[in-house]
């Protein structure tokens, strides 16, 4: 059992998109990295924690949460969080978080972490289009990256960023207003998709899970939505970033293998025999299910057969 945490941050406000999906704005007592030019690198996460006051026997719990805000927003940090209805542990953080109201105290480790950043993957000078594939709260690192670029280059185009965001319902598309206005005013390419459109009478956009944008029969349409020529979705032109749960990551990789995209994972690359090829799909996973069961020879052979012959 983890011991009690000393609280060092305050919940300033929260916005609830539904019963299970909210953004939390947190104010640290001490500024994050006050001596650095940037408080963190977009794409990084913080660790949030709470003591279980109602069941003290369960102690405290901490979990990593991607930072959804951009680093220029120094005084506060935003998080986009899903309440996990079927938790794996007996002391789930999200169940404690959901009881918090403005002004309540919590723990936030005073150090950003993580390498799911442009800097640590393709490098900021990479001239390709960057496609972000996000299921639900997996959007968080990507809003940070896009808001950072919008702030740092106030008159520049955001056309190099493609944000694909999937949710069950249209009202769960967090940050929709902000992203739509960046699409209108700054050429951000924003492709939201809703997987239960039958329950969304006002929704006329794309439907299906976000990874369905890459179904073979939809690729030409997806390229058109991204304002790319047919057949041009290749690693020569684009780098892919995926964030969320296992299913989205696994399906996106599988559907992009035929276009020659290579996942950035040493063990998967070795199993597929493509260790010498540069990675072009980078991912951050919120759960622990393996993306590819590399011990399953049939599965590996099936995936290998999807790769284009070079
Ligand atoms: C680097 C990193 C960044 C993360 N950033 C975020 C974030 O920005 N927002 C966010 O909501 N979560 C994020 N997570 C997941 C988060 O850390 C917790 O796992 C999640 O909130 C569940 O914690 P819990 O204590 O409530 O439940 P637990 O009892 O710890 O249950 C964990 C279980 O929940 C599952 N799970 C994790 N995330 C989800 C989800 N979104 N939907 C459904 N099931 C899930 C996992 O498979 C795991 O089995 C991140 C995880 C990592 C590794």
Question: Which protein residue's CA is at the shortest distance from atom 5 of ligand 1?
Answer: 65
Q: Determine the average pLDDT of the residues in 221-235.
A: 96
Tokens 């109201």 locate to 101
What span, in angstroms and rounded, lies between the C-alpha atoms of 126 and 240? 12
The architecture in CATH of the region 129-306 reads 3-Layer(aba) Sandwich (3.40)
CB distance 82 to ligand 1 below 6 Å: yes
- DSSP secondary structure string, 212-261? GGGSGGGHHHHHHHTT--TT--STTTEEEEEEE-HHHHHHHHHHHGGGT-
Is there a common fold for 9-108 and 129-306? no
Say whether pLDDT at 309 is over 90: no
**Ligand 1 centre distance from Cα of residue 210 (Å):** 19
CB distance 248 to ligand 1 below 6 Å: no
DSSP secondary-structure letter at 84? -
Say whether pLDDT at 310 is over 80: no
Assess contact for 26 and 7: CB atoms under 8 A. Answer: no
Parse the chain into domains and list their residue ranges: 9-108, 129-306
pLDDT score of 4: 92
Select the CATH number that applies to the domain covering 9-108 from these four: 3.40.47.10, 3.40.470.10, 3.40.50.920, 2.40.30.10: 2.40.30.10
pLDDT score of 1: 78
Q: How confident is the model at residue 224 (pLDDT cuts 50, 70, 90)?
A: very high
CB distance 87 to ligand 1 below 6 Å: yes
Say whether pLDDT at 64 is over 90: yes
Edge-to-edge order in the sheet of strand 77-82: 60-66, 45-51, 105-108, 9-18, 21-28, 77-82
**Ligand 1 centre distance from Cα of residue 267 (Å):** 23
CB distance 84 to ligand 1 below 6 Å: yes
Q: Determine the average pLDDT of the residues in 13-19.
A: 94
**Ligand 1 centre distance from Cα of residue 123 (Å):** 27
pLDDT score of 109: 95
**Ligand 1 centre distance from Cα of residue 94 (Å):** 8
Q: How confident is the model at residue 35 (pLDDT cuts 50, 70, 90)?
A: confident
Say whether pLDDT at 135 is over 80: yes
- What number of helices (H) and strands (E) belong to the chain? 7, 12
Cα 90 to its chain centre, rounded Å, is 25
């Amino acid at each position: 059992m983890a011991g009690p945490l000393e609280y060092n941050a305050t919940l300033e406000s929260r916005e609830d998109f539904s019963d299970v999906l909210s953004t939390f704005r947190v104010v640290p007592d001490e500024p994050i990295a006050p001596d650095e030019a940037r408080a963190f690198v977009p794409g990084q996460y913080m660790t949030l924690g709470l003591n279980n006051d109602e069941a003290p026997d369960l102690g405290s719990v901490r979990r990593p949460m991607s930072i959804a805000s951009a680093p220029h927003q120094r005084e506060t940090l935003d998080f986009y969080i899903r309440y996990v209805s079927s938790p794996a542990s007996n002391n789930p953080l999200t169940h404690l978080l959901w009881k918090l109201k403005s002004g309540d105290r919590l723990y936030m480790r005073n150090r950003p972490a993580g390498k799911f950043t442009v800097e640590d993957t393709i490098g900021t000078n990479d001239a390709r289009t960057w496609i972000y594939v996000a299921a639900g709260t997996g959007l968080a690192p990507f809003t940070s990256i896009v808001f950072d670029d919008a702030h740092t280059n106030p008159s520049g185009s955001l056309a190099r960023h493609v944000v694909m965001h999937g949710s069950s319902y249209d009202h769960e598309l967090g940050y929709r207003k902000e992203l739509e206005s960046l699409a209108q005013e700054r050429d951000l390419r924003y492709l939201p998709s809703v997987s239960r459109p039958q329950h969304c009478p006002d929704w006329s956009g794309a439907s299906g899970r976000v990874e369905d944008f890459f179904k073979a029969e939809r690729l030409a349409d997806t390229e058109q939505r991204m304002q790319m020529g047919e057949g041009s979705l290749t690693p020569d032109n684009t780098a892919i970033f995926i964030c969320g749960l296992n299913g989205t990551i696994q399906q996106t990789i599988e559907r992009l293998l035929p276009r020659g995209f290579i996942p950035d994972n040493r063990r998967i690359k070795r199993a597929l025999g493509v260790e010498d090829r540069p990675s072009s799909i980078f991912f951050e996973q919120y759960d622990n299910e393996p993306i590819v069961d590399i011990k399953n020879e049939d599965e590996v052979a099936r995936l290998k057969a999807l790769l284009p012959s070079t």
